[in-house]
Chain A
Amino acid sequence: MNYFHLPLEEWTNRFVNQWLIPVLGGFFDSISNVVGAFISWVTNILTFIPPELMALILIFLAWRYAGVGIAIFTLIGSLYLGSVDLWFAAMQTLAIVIVATLFSIVIGIPIGIWSAKSPIVYAIVRPILDFMQTLPSFVYLIPAILLFGLGGVPAVISTFVFATPPAVRMTTLGIKQVPTDVVEAARAFGSTYWQMLTKVQLPMAVPTIMAGINQTIMLALSMAVIASMIGAPGLGSVVLAGISRVNVGLGLTGGLGIVVLAIVLDRITQGIGEKTK
């Protein structure tokens, strides 16, 4: 199969080292500063709130959207995170998940709407989403450092790449699933493009979009350990510390923290999705 030599390796290296970093380095630095400031702002808020109050807020949300069972689980989970001294780490992870999810939503949902409206956009976006979801994250993890520096920022960017596709896909699906008779009825009553979108299609798509956001959050959490390899603080780095020392106990302690966070976030966002049906 070796009919000709494809110098992809050299091209990529030359592109990154001679153009991307020297020419756009400053641009990426400023993105890095903004995102970094945003992450530390969210982290500061989450860690400034006393753990007891934060736990109460989470328990309330769990009770309100997911029922008594999950509220009790949230109480136990919070006590667990406190008692193994991982509350602070959990809030650091939560901050990165929140920031990455926000980016995914802000960028993913409009693209999802656009793809639903335009077959051409959909044809372009779809392979890009496949690419984002299947390209192993290790491939862009280290290059993300070259552009954004070590720490929470490349973690958020990598998480964004990995976690955005479901937000886009589910938004597209949700809008496409709105029954045609409803759309035609709305059109018959003379609704404009924007009215159609904001008053008919989006409201009916909300449960599907929420399912997409739920998936985005779960994928973002699943990046926590990988992201700690590029300097993201939080539960992931606890797990990494455990496994690199073959300290099984420490690894499990941190890993269970991620599980607690995941279940609580999953049930709450799922509940919000159900309630909006």
Chain B
Amino acid sequence: MKQIKCLFLTFFAFFLIVGCGPAETPEETPADDDTTPAEDVGDQSVTFGMTPWTSTIPPTTIAMLILEDMGFEVNQIEADAGGVYTGLSRGDIDAFMDAWLPDMHASYMEQFGDNIDSTSISYPDGELGWVVPTYVEEVNSIEDLKGNEDLFGGEMYGIEEGAGMTMTSGEMIDEFDLDLQYVASSEGGMLAQVARQIGAERPVLFLGWRPHPMFVDYDLKVLEGQDDFFATSEVHVLTNIDFKDRVPEAYEFLSNWSIDVGDIEQMIVEIDNGRSAEEVAREWMENNQDKVAEMKGE
């Protein structure tokens, strides 16, 4: 499990490098929004922890914009996961929108969990595992693969040799006694092969994880029956243990927080394509006014 975690961190670090160069969220300046009258909240401020993963940027930006609209002063501190959890436990950081629980960030929670409040679930479907395009109707679960290996030419495509998901996939092939050869390459290599196969509407079996733009680009289904190998993560919103008492209205909002994983993926793609995170976040808020109002408790 630890290896999967490391792998994920690597992915997201990789996304940052290749994906969101120009889309880095700038340090937020105080709200210049004049539509919502600012309540008198004194010097109450909310500081968000921002990891450099593409999945962190959209929800954090949205939450910051909404809180700004509500009249809070918002800040962000950029750090890697270890830094964010340390800051959360000390109170330097009030909230973190992208906590992968229970498995992937388990080690941080063991270390810092006493001072951290799990405030809400952002989205429950941080799935990962073997995926196929939805047009492969014959196969819906790992059991369905048995005897259907020829459909995929006896091959499945994965990421690097030695990566956590690669090793887990090897175990699955043994466990389910599948006549499959795991072709290791790299994320880019795997996705190019997927583009090639899906472009020709051929069946293809490969590794997927959410949120990832692949779920925007293609209709994919994560195969059932692999929970023992790839456990789905829930993405939690975490806050510092004292935040609830210090800024109750902001805590109330964050405790009502939820977002669709598909929306996150859509926003990641938009940001990847060079739009600013704030612009993309504003657009989401426009299109989801009911949801925003509900989360604000209006």
Q: Which residues of A contact B (CB under 8 A)?
A: 21-22, 25, 141-143, 145-147, 149-151, 228-231, 237-238, 240-245, 247, 250
Contact = CB atoms under 8 A, between A and B. Distances in A.
A78 B199 CA distance: 44
Interface string B134-171: 00000000000000000000000100111100000000
Contacts of A237: 161, 184
Contact of B189 (A145, A243, A247): A145
Given A229-B186, A231-B184, A237-B184, A149 B193 contact: yes
Given A25-B199, A145-B185, 11 more contacts: A143-B192, A145-B189, A149-B196, A150-B193, A231-B183, A231-B185, A237-B161, A240-B161, A241-B161, A241-B184, A247-B162
A231 B189 CA distance: 8
Interface string B170-191: 0000000000000111101110
Q: Is the interface of A mostly helix, strand, loop or mixed?
A: helix
B188 A142 contact: yes
Contacts of B200: 25
19 contacts: A21-B196, A22-B199, A142-B189, A146-B192, A146-B195, A149-B196, A150-B193, A151-B183, A229-B160, A229-B185, A231-B157, A237-B184, A240-B160, A240-B161, A240-B162, A241-B160, A241-B162, A241-B184, A250-B162
B185 A230 contact: yes
A241 B158 CA distance: 13
Q: Is the interface of B mostly helix, strand, loop or mixed?
A: mixed
Given A145-B192, A242-B162, A244-B163, A150 B157 contact: yes
Contacts of A146: 192, 195-196
Contacts of A247: 162
Nearest to A243: B162
Contacts of B163: 244-245
Q: How large is the interface on B (under 10, 10 to 19, 20 to 34, 35 or more residues)?
A: 10 to 19
A147 B163 CA distance: 26
A168 B23 CA distance: 44
Given A149-B193, A150-B190, A245 B162 contact: yes
B147 to A, nearest CB: 24
A25 B195 CA distance: 12
Contacts of B160: 229, 240-241, 244
A228 B161 contact: yes
Contacts of A25: 199-200
Contacts of B199: 21-22, 25
A256 to B, nearest CB: 17
A193 B54 CA distance: 64
Among B163, B188, B190, B196: residue with most chain A CB under 10 A: B196
Interface in B60-119: none
Nearest to B200: A25
Contacts of B186: 229-230
Given A150-B189, A230-B185, A145 B161 contact: no
A136 to B, nearest CB: 14
A238 B200 CA distance: 32
A268 to B, nearest CB: 29
A271 B192 CA distance: 41
A142 B162 contact: no
Nearest to A150: B193
Contacts of A141: 189
Contacts of A150: 157, 183, 185, 189-190, 192-193
Contacts of A240: 160-162, 184
Nearest to B184: A237
Contacts of B195: 146
Contacts of B183: 150-151, 231
